[in-house]
């Protein structure tokens, strides 16, 4: 949690100071990921203290945790889709293809929270039930989309980002697989942390973004200069004298 808060604070401070435009999807990820991590820690405590915590409070905490986790992976999938393919803000069709299944899953998670069961394991208690299964299915489905997009569209990434991007996505997948197969492990908080940290390092680090913007401006400047010089023959052939001669 402290690592994520450090990233969020550093990103906000540096972005405002450098006056760099923000990515709205990454902004959403910075909101959902810390919530997922916080409620993961909270539910880890409440599920082991059911005698002290009212049942309704325990279920609400779990509901908020499941929703935050699913929203985090949905936003990450949208972010990677935008990076690798591109989504226009007015292209409701592409947005709908990604958001609709996740929206249905969130509704199902909320609807099944009353059936949530708290199981005492060997080392710790954990929750199982319909909401958990739907949440896991959402995480696996959207993670699969992220992995598929990254592998099949990796040629659209800058060469220096391919290895780093694949690395943090694979690491997140391993963590997710362990958590799904062994619910008692309670590694859920590391999953959104890995996604947020990986995207921050490879894509949204303000220092790297500022350098990228600067390089793009130089390239555009050269392109404009070349295009302007290409108009000289046309102007000369029409009997007009170039202004700078």
What pLDDT, on a 0 to 100 scale, did the predictor assign at position 244?
A: 43
Q: Is the pTM of this model over 0.95?
A: no
Reported as half-sphere exposure (CB side, CA atoms, 13 A), residue 97 has a value of: 8
Q: What is the pLDDT along the chain (245 residues), one digit of tens a residue?
A: 777 888 878 877 777 777 777 788 888 999 999 999 999 999 999 999 988 999 999 999 999 999 999 999 999 999 999 888 887 766 667 677 778 899 999 999 999 999 999 998 888 888 999 999 999 999 999 999 999 999 999 988 888 888 989 999 999 999 999 999 988 887 888 999 999 999 988 888 777 666 655 555 565 555 556 666 655 555 555 555 444 44
What pLDDT, on a 0 to 100 scale, did the predictor assign at position 133?
A: 95
What pLDDT, on a 0 to 100 scale, did the predictor assign at position 187?
A: 82
Q: Among 120, 123, 142, which residue's Cα sits nearest to residue 51?
A: 120
What does the domain layout of the chain look like in residue ranges? 2-204
Give per-residue burial for 5-23: e unless 16+ CB within 10 Å, then b.
eebbeebeeebeeeebeeb
């Amino acid at each position: 949690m402290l690592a994520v808060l450090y990233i969020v604070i550093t990103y906000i401070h540096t972005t405002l100071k450098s006056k760099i435009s923000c990515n709205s999807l990454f902004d959403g990820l910075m909101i959902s990921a810390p919530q997922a991590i916080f409620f993961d820690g909270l539910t880890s405590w409440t599920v082991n203290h059911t005698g002290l915590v009212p049942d309704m409070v325990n279920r609400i905490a779990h509901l908020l945790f499941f929703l935050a986790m699913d929203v985090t992976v949905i936003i990450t999938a949208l972010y990677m889709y935008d990076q690798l393919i591109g989504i226009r803000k007015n292209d409701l069709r592409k947005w709908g293809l990604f958001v609709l299944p996740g929206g249905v899953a969130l509704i199902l998670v909320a609807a099944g929270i009353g059936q949530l069961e708290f199981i005492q394991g060997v080392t710790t208690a954990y929750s199982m039930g319909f909401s958990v299964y739907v949440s896991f299915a959402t995480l696996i489905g959207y993670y699969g989309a992220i992995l598929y997009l990254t592998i099949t569209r990796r040629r659209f990434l800058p060469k220096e980002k391919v290895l780093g991007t694949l690395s943090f996505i694979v690491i997140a997948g391993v963590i997710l697989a362990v958590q799904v197969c062994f619910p008692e492990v309670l590694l859920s908080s590391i999953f959104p942390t890995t996604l947020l940290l990986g995207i921050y390092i490879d894509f949204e680090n303000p220092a790297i973004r500022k350098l990228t913007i600067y390089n793009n401006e130089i390239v555009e400047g050269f392109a404009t200069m070349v295009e302007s010089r290409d108009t000289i023959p046309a102007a000369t052939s029409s009997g007009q004298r170039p202004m700078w001669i």
